[in-house]
Copies of this chain bind each other. A is one copy, B any other.
């Protein structure tokens, strides 16, 4: 993978939230069996369980707006940590919700990346 970490992070963030907002079920392809999601403190492991958790969130329509994207490499295994802040407009709600989320991306043998770690928190005012 010739892509530098900043370009990878930017491309991942665009892809992830566009997919989340338009066809959430397709996110399953970004996770693997050892992937972990902690969503508002609730832990889920494995691509299928994570996809089910995301599908079960109690809103049908949403739109993420990204404010900041930070990234760092995470060690010799080739991982990249991506840290995002932004807001989330949920269908039927008047005001957007602020959130922070981090992803730990790991390379696959095929030259792509998958999400090993995913932690999401709303930022209450």
A: residues with CB less than 8 A from B are 36, 38, 41, 43, 67-68, 70, 72-75, 77, 79, 81, 83, 85, 98, 100, 102, 104, 106, 116-117, 119, 121, 123-125
Contact = CB atoms under 8 A, between A and B. Distances in A.
Contact of A123 (B70, B75, B98, B117): B98
A116 B74 contact: yes
Contacts of A38: 70, 72, 83
B123 A74 contact: no
Nearest to A85: B121
B119 A72 contact: yes
Contacts of A121: 68, 70, 83, 85, 100
